[in-house]
Amino acid sequence: MIALNYKCEKCIFICNAIHFKQNFISWTSGDKDIDKFIRVTQLSAHSIYEIKDVLEWIPYNRIYNIKYIEKIGLYRANWIDGKIYKWNDYDQNWDRYDQNMIVTIKNLNNSKEITTEFMNEIRKDHEIYGITRDPETKCYMMYKFINWTSGNKDIDKFIQDTQLSVHQYNEISHALEWIPYDRFYDIKYIEKIGVYRANWIDGKIYKWDDECQNWGRLNQDMFVTLESLINPKNVSIEFMNKIKVYHKFYGITQNPETKNYMIVLDNKCEKCNCICNSIYFQQNFDNWTSGNKDIDKFIQDTQLSAHTDHGSSDALEWIPYDRCYNIEFIAEDRFGKIYKANWIDGFILKWNDYNQNWDRYNQNIVVTIKNLNISKEITTEFMNVIRKDHKIHGITQDLETQSYMVVLSSYCRKWYNICNATFFQQNFINWTSGNNEIDGLIQDTQLSVHKDNEISHALEWIPYSRFYNIKYIEKIGVYRANWIDGYIHKWDDKYQNWGRLNQDMLVTLENLINPKNVSIEFIMNKIKVNHKFYGVTQNPETKNYMMVLNNSGNKDIDKFIQDTQLSAHTDHGSSDILEWIPYNRFHNVEFIAEDRFGKIYKTNANWIDGFILKWNHYNQNWDRFNQNMVVTMKNLNNSKEITTDFMNEKRSQNLWNNSGSKNAELYGCIR
């Protein structure tokens, strides 16, 4: 046998036409005219782009579910193989797509009528795939792709005209489609405006998907309006353009019971000329009720006025009582009882087109719930009074008392949002020192903290049980202890609590002689000049109140360290600062020698934290270098002799040798 390589004379390689030609002996229709016509279309298909114009002989047994549709005088069926896509060199056969696709089959009464002109005429309205023959009637039949019909020629033509005028991607929105009525659900008649509202399962056409060989769609289960079409014969491009002034027109459907044709439109806001937030709220009106018409109307009015994402923050919502938990009574005012609770869902942020629902923020947020004694008191003026101090999220109802209640968050008057001061305020009911002056002082410092970089100014009430290793230092009359929690760093939205740093840190506890003398001025002018002030605690045995400080216990050392820190204005300058280093930040301390100043120790392991490098604005803390570095510690025999002059002289001796080169770094002091 001789293996021949048939090249196309036109293409000078083996093209699609050659692949079709090699298969001519494998099929026949039994009619020379039909065979010739099919072969001519196949021999004209040289490139992949021309395959769509090819016809093929389709055996009748490759179709199933054959049904005659009397209204249109055609057959409907499923085609097992689907249409030709491209040649597969590996399998040496045609790749196909749309297997089991629905096709329409039309009788050809006279096969000799099949000419190029005849086919071109049909192709104006249909995509033709091939020809088959009914083995019983012996009639030849043509496969056409019409997987839809409205049953009305005027409507079919109108829809087809809009589709055939769409050539580019940005024109797809102008095409209408026939939408089967069973692709809608939750169909409800809106008596006020005489239209139906429904959810459309598939959503609108977006773009052609080459891989799936079908239309990609957006906004599945979207809300649409169904409006009756009085006279289908009046449907025209002019008619469509009139509708499009006010609406997005997606297609046409038919109610199978009433047989009425209906146009499928979007829900467009007359003010915004688009589907805005007020429409999304409106679509949900049927899914909730407070059980009180006045309250329903008030909530709906706020929602209907929320057109933008910014406006949606002013919309109220009906909040089922079971969406709140940890409900605790905290106070009572002129409006009624006040409760604190966690709200599971959090407040509305913006509409999510993909999920067709509201995105929400601050899940499990702490909210305040206020009783409303009489629902008829709820007016815009009433709400505005409350809004002066609070952000209102919605209204709920206590299932036991049947009382209506306003759900709100504490409102920061300075920043007009939920800031750090708000988070502190929400926790006021969870602690007390037992002393009004101390409570007032702590709360005042917390309410003055709005930004993250101000948090260090806030004090807190620290239960005495949060300290361990509490030891009295007789020389300086203070206590030393480890603080389990460490100091407040910033608010953690995820856990709805304060993030903290330096757990188990070493702190000083100093007795507060007269709590009545404690004031903001006392803290800023006397305490914070020399110390970092974290909060107040109380010894449960002596009942003495104590300040929780971070200091060395020696004023001269404190001042010396603070002076070095206050002179460090740049990142370069921060390398010269000293710091107070808690003793528990070292381990494996060993004695190695003694000089005229005292014993010298060395850590065989390391200084855990390493030295300060630069300030990290994101973490609001110092970046450090050389964690677990080896350092040397020198003992200072008499801390009372430690003065600023002494420390400056010591630093000079330590840092520079006789040759003028740097000898060692001085990082800080420890006790």
- Tell me how crowded residue 119 is: count the other CB atoms within 10 A of its CB: 15
What average pLDDT does this structure show over 336-345? 85
Distance CA 8, CA 18 (A): 6
Closest residue by Cα to residue 21 from 1, 45, 4, 3? 45
Tell whether pTM > 0.75.
no
Distance CA 394, CA 384 (A): 13
Predicted pLDDT of residue 283: 76
Asked if residue 254 has pLDDT above 80, the reply is yes
Distance CA 521, CA 441 (A): 11
Q: How many degrees, rounded to 5, is the angle at CA 428 between CA 439 and CA 495?
A: 135
Asked if residue 551 has pLDDT above 80, the reply is no
Contact 653, 634 (CB under 8 A): no
Return left, alpha or beta for 221; rule: phi > 0 is left, psi -120 to 50 is alpha, else beta: left
Residue 603 banded pLDDT, cuts 50, 70, 90: very low
**Phi and psi dihedrals of 130, rounded to 5?**
170, -170
Each residue of 110-150: pLDDT tens digit?
Answer: 555 666 666 665 555 567 888 888 888 888 777 655 557 78
Please report the beta strands in 89-164, taking only residues with DSSP state E, as ranges in sequence order.
Answer: 93-97, 101-108, 127-133, 140-145
Distance CA 123, CA 143 (A): 12
Q: In three state form, how does the secondary structure of 477-507 look?
A: CEEEEEECCCEEEEEECCCCEEEEECCCEEE
Q: Domain coordinates of the chain in residue numbers?
A: 16-145, 153-265, 277-411, 422-550, 555-669
What average pLDDT does this structure show over 157-170? 85
Between 575 and 614, where is the model more confident?
A: 614
Please report the beta strands in 377-496, taking only residues with DSSP state E, as ranges in sequence order.
Answer: 390-397, 404-410, 460-461, 467-473, 478-483, 487-492
| 100-104, 287-291, 432-436: range with lowest mean pLDDT | 100-104
What six digits make up the tokens of 300? 């709906």
What distance, in Å, lies between the first and last C-alpha atoms of the chain? 100
Distance CA 413, CA 389 (A): 7
According to CATH, the topology of domain 153-265 is Phosphorylase Kinase; domain 1 (3.30.200)
CATH superfamily of 277-411: Phosphorylase Kinase; domain 1 (3.30.200.20)
Pick the CATH number of 16-145 from 3.40.1350, 2.60.40, 3.30.200, 3.40.50: 3.30.200
CA distances from 133 to 29, 33, 105, 118, 671 (A): 8, 14, 10, 19, 102
| Tokens 């000799």 sit on residue | 112
Residue 657 banded pLDDT, cuts 50, 70, 90: very low
> Is residue 645 packed enough to be buried (19+ CB in 10 Å), middle (13-18) or exposed (0-12)?
exposed
Q: Do domains 277-411 and 422-550 have the same CATH topology?
A: yes
**Phi and psi dihedrals of 515, rounded to 5?**
-55, -25
Beta-ladder partners of 32: none
Predicted pLDDT of residue 660: 43
With residue 200 as reference, give the H or E element that holds it: strand 195-200
- CB neighbour list of residue 2: distance below 8 Å, 6 or more residues apart: none
| Tokens 């002030």 sit on residue | 533
- Tell me how crowded residue 436 is: count the other CB atoms within 10 A of its CB: 11
Distance CA 207, CA 613 (A): 54
What average pLDDT does this structure show over 352-370? 84
Distance CA 480, CA 285 (A): 62
DSSP per position, 45-82: --SGGGGGG--EE--GGGEEEEEEETTTTEEEEEESS-
Contact 498, 489 (CB under 8 A): yes
Asked if residue 464 has pLDDT above 90, the reply is yes
- The mean predicted confidence, pLDDT, of the chain is 78
**Phi and psi dihedrals of 650, rounded to 5?**
-65, -40
Distance CA 519, CA 600 (A): 43
Predicted pLDDT of residue 593: 61
What six digits make up the tokens of 168? 């580019």
| 167-181, 373-387, 555-569, 649-663: range with lowest mean pLDDT | 649-663
Distance CA 390, CA 422 (A): 10
Total residues belonging to the chain = 671
For residue 354, the one-letter residue type is Y
Rounded to 10°, the helix 237-244/153-164 angle is 70
Each residue of 167-224: pLDDT tens digit?
Answer: 888 888 888 899 988 888 889 887 666 788 888 888 899 888 777 667 888 888 888 8
Predicted pLDDT of residue 333: 62
Residue 317 banded pLDDT, cuts 50, 70, 90: very high
According to CATH, the topology of domain 422-550 is Phosphorylase Kinase; domain 1 (3.30.200)
Strands 177-178, 249-254: pairing is: parallel
Predicted pLDDT of residue 335: 63
